[in-house]
Amino acid sequence: MQTVDDATPDCEVEGKGCLIPALTQRGQKVMEMHTLLKSLHDLVDPGTILSMCEAQKEDIEYLAIVEAEVRKNQPKNEN
């Protein structure tokens, strides 16, 4: 059984380990950039954040995919 800080991840299934693969190094970087962009959007422009993270073209392309998935899975605002 896989534990992180003595906690079993939600993805642990019947002692068989996680069915969700761990993020690659690039995946972790992209998710960190996404978090920074969302949390600092009122304080820092996106270009500065991407520059600070030394984002490459591929990182930005993956970031666009992540953002599209996030938006697709957000509940629709019914006004």
Number of neighbours of residue 62 by Cβ within 10 angstroms: 19
Please report whether residue 41 resides in a domain. yes
For 60, the domain range is 25-73
Please report whether residue 4 resides in a domain. no
State pTM to two decimals.
0.67
User: What percent of the chain has a predicted confidence (pLDDT) above 90?
Assistant: 52
Please report whether residue 61 resides in a domain. yes
Please report whether residue 66 resides in a domain. yes
How many structural domains is the chain composed of?
A: 1
Please report whether residue 53 resides in a domain. yes
pLDDT, one tens digit per residue, over 12-27 is 667 676 766 778 899 9
Model confidence band, residue 7 (pLDDT cutoffs 50, 70, 90): low
Please report whether residue 40 resides in a domain. yes
